[in-house]
């Protein structure tokens, strides 16, 4: 009876070298996400625009950090065709997650300085491939909306 009990216990126990290999693999895999997770995770999108009016051409760039579910900081930069920052009367941003029928979630950033707008606490509730639309108004009647997709999460 004792022999049967000892045999049962030993057959259900991992050999020592197998436990050491599993432990080493576990510690390697647990350190891998920490190393890759140390990056900023920011998303930068650059989109040319043309409102069709006078001085209506340029490039709008969005920086979204950390580009994850929850709070994000967003910076919007508007440059003229010469690459220099320019002010425009209005910049609006909207986030849409079509796969989940979510949005558009509007964001109106605050004007910080020439060619720079910012918004903090931009809430993105889910991971996915989001469409980010930027509306740039260059005069009372000239505006255009440009968009790009970004992976969030």
Please report, rounded to a whole number, the percentage of residues in the chain having pLDDT higher than 90. 70
Q: Do 70 and 114 fall within a single domain? A: yes
pLDDT at position 3, please? 59
Query: Whole domain around residue 18: which residue ranges?
Result: 2-36
pLDDT in tens, 99-143: 999 999 999 999 999 999 999 999 999 999 999 999 999 999 999
Domain total of the chain: 2
Q: Do 78 and 127 fall within a single domain? A: yes
Angle at 34 between CA 29 and CA 35, to 5 degrees: 95
pLDDT at position 4, please? 56
Q: Is pLDDT of 88 > 50?
A: yes
Least confident window among 14-18, 64-68, 107-111? 14-18
Which SS3 state, helix, strand or coil, does residue 41 take? coil
């Amino acid at each position: 009876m004792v022999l049967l009990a000892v045999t049962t216990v030993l057959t259900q126990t991992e050999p020592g070298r197998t436990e050491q290999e599993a432990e080493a693999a576990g510690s390697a895999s647990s350190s891998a996400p920490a190393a890759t997770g140390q990056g900023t995770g920011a998303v930068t999108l650059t989109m040319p625009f043309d409102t069709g009016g006078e001085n209506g051409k340029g490039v709008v760039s969005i920086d979204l950090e950390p580009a994850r579910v929850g709070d994000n900081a967003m910076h919007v930069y508007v440059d003229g065709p010469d690459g220099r920052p320019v002010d425009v009367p209005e910049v609006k941003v909207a986030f849409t997650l079509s796969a989940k029928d979510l949005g558009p979630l509007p964001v109106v950033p605050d004007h910080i300085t020439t060619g720079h707008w910012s918004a903090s606490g931009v809430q993105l509730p889910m991971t996915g491939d989001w469409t980010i639309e930027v509306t740039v108004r260059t005069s009372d009647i000239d505006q255009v909306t440009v968009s790009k997709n970004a992976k969030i999460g």
